């Protein structure tokens, strides 16, 4: 039921969303931009519970803090202290609450002082405005399917078809986020990330002499394991397999399984080894989750294309998140884990020219 609804969300053409600053995937229902909330502002909105933290500071000093969000962003609640916690007892990540509250200030940051929280029945919830999504998926599929079609080698094409001609796999792939909290943490984020990796990889291949078709195949296959590693049923998170095996290993196993299940050999043993190497090495270094470092030109290109997509998306997200900055400060007030604990600078210039 929920996944069917998510599919409808992703199918909705981008043009049907009332676009607002920096957000390209807002649904047609009115939705409050959480990034634009001001101190003392009152709200009464349905919000998704992204996280529930229960903290204890000693006897009779327990509190609960909710992280609440919608497609535009997130905000933490002020702590529910002591008996106030009864109002949110049993509330879990993935629930949606009708929230009434006022934006308060704590150490220069916004937090929501919740005065009323009522959990809404799941089947009454319109998740369209609550989970971040990439919006219309069709342009991404169109380009990726075209690049797949352009591949010259029939065996390489046939391996990709084992996944990308399978409607069930496509549905999972187009819904899956590229990460639960990092880069492209959106419904459809994996599809967009893979489109970026293929796009960047093709460019590097053109200038480096790498086999462009193999780079495209690597882009399409490198993160297939994420569809088994992540869940997106109301909130983004990990599956047990994702936690225990990780998406690199799961992707390798998925490729192995599909090749074994094919009625006839789809490619040679050497070709299978080359494709497995692309999946297993795409994180670049073993301390970053790669089983082996890249040892082919195409694996090297794939690794840097993957990183370019992930890091540039994370930088753009960090600069667009007002929670990272205090007042008018240009340098972020905190180190950002998605950027390997770097800070970000949001200054800019028009360079003196109005433009054409
Ligand atoms: Fe990956
Ligand atoms: Fe990736």
180-210: pLDDT as tens digits: 989 999 999 999 999 999 999 999 999 999 9
Domain identity same for 146 and 290: yes
DSSP run (H or E) holding 161: helix 154-164
Q: How far is the CA of 306 from the centre of ligand 2 (A)?
A: 5
Domain extent at residue 239? 138-315
Q: How far is the CA of 24 from the centre of ligand 2 (A)?
A: 22
Domain identity same for 179 and 152: yes
The overall longest dimension of the chain from CA atoms, in Å, is 69
Q: What is the CATH number of the domain that holds 231?
A: 1.10.3210
Q: How far is the CA of 247 from the centre of ligand 1 (A)?
A: 7
Domain identity same for 155 and 103: no
Q: How far is the CA of 222 from the centre of ligand 2 (A)?
A: 6
DSSP state of 42: E
Q: How far is the CA of 332 from the centre of ligand 1 (A)?
A: 27
pLDDT of res. 354: 80
Q: How far is the CA of 18 from the centre of ligand 2 (A)?
A: 30
Domain identity same for 108 and 201: no
Counting ligands in written order, the one closest to the CA of 247 is: 1
> pLDDT of 330-355, one tens digit each?
999 999 998 999 999 999 998 998 87
- DSSP assignment of 71-126 equals TTEEEEBPPEEGGGGGGGTT--TT-EEEEEEEEEEETTEEEEEEEEEEEPPGGG--
Domain identity same for 187 and 306: yes
Query: Integer distance in angstroms from the first to the last C-alpha of the chain?
Result: 49
> pLDDT of 126-160, one tens digit each?
776 788 889 899 999 999 999 999 999 999 999 99
Q: How far is the CA of 222 from the centre of ligand 1 (A)?
A: 6
Counting the structural domains of the chain, the total is: 2
Domain identity same for 88 and 231: no
Domain identity same for 72 and 197: no
pLDDT of res. 110: 87
Q: How many CB atoms lie within 10 A of CB 244?
A: 11
The pLDDT of residue 17 is above 80: no
Q: How far is the CA of 346 from the centre of ligand 2 (A)?
A: 26
Q: How far is the CA of 317 from the centre of ligand 2 (A)?
A: 17
Q: What is the CATH number of the domain that holds 21?
A: 2.40.50.200
pLDDT of res. 7: 61
User: β-pairing, 230-231 with 109-119?
Assistant: unpaired
Closest CA to 247 of 317, 175, 180, 318: 180
Q: How far is the CA of 307 from the centre of ligand 1 (A)?
A: 9
Domain identity same for 158 and 121: no
pLDDT of res. 64: 95
- Cβ partners under 8 Å of residue 151, min gap 6: 157, 160, 213, 216, 217
Q: How far is the CA of 302 from the centre of ligand 2 (A)?
A: 9
**Residues listed for the chain:** 356
| Residue 87 included in any domain | yes
Three-class secondary structure of residue 56 per DSSP: strand
Q: How far is the CA of 265 from the centre of ligand 2 (A)?
A: 27
Which of 23-27, 42-46, 223-227, 321-325 bottoms out in mean pLDDT, i.e. has the lowest?
Answer: 23-27
Question: What average pLDDT does range 250-277 have in this prediction?
Answer: 98
Counting ligands in written order, the one closest to the CA of 178 is: 2
The pLDDT of residue 39 is above 50: yes
Q: How far is the CA of 83 from the centre of ligand 1 (A)?
A: 44
Which of 181-195, 290-304, 312-326 bottoms out in mean pLDDT, i.e. has the lowest?
Answer: 312-326
> pLDDT of 51-61, one tens digit each?
899 988 877 78
pLDDT of res. 240: 97
pLDDT of res. 186: 92
């Amino acid at each position: 039921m929920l996944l069917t609804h998510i599919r409808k969300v992703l199918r909705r053409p981008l043009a049907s969303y009332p676009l607002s600053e920096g957000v390209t995937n807002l649904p047609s229902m009115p939705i409050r931009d959480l990034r634009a909330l001001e101190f003392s502002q009152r709200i009464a909105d349905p919000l998704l519970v992204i996280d529930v933290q229960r903290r204890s500071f000693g006897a009779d000093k327990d509190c609960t803090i909710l992280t609440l969000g919608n497609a535009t962003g997130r905000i933490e609640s002020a702590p529910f202290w002591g008996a106030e916690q009864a109002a949110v007892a049993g509330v879990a990540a993935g629930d949606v609450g009708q929230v009434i509250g006022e934006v308060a200030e704590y150490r220069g940051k916004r937090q929501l002082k919740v005065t009323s929280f009522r959990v809404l029945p799941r089947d009454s919830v319109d998740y369209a405005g609550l989970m971040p999504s990439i919006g219309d998926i069709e342009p991404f599929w169109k380009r990726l399917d075209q690049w797949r079609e352009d591949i010259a080698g029939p065996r390489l094409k046939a391996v990709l078809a084992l996944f990308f001609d399978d409607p069930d796999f496509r549905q999972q792939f187009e819904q899956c986020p590229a990460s639960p909290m990092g880069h492209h943490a959106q419904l459809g984020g994996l599809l967009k990330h893979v489109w970026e990796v293929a796009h960047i990889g093709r460019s590097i291949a053109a200038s480096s002499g790498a086999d462009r078709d193999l780079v495209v195949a690597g882009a399409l296959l490198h993160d297939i394991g994420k569809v088994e590693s992540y869940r997106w049923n109301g909130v983004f998170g990990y599956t047990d397999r994702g936690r225990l095996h990780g998406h690199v290993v799961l992707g390798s196993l998925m490729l192995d399984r599909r090749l074994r299940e094919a009625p006839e050999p789809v490619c040679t043993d050497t070709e299978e080894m080359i494709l497995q190497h692309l999946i297993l090495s795409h994180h670049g270094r073993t301390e970053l989750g790669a089983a082996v470092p890249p040892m082919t030109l195409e694996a090297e290109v794939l690794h840097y294309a993957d990183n370019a997509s992930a890091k540039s998306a994370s930088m753009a997200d960090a600069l667009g998140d007002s929670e990272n900055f205090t007042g008018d400060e240009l340098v972020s007030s905190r180190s950002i884990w998605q950027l390997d604990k770097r800070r970000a600078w949001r200054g800019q210039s028009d360079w003196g020219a109005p433009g054409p």
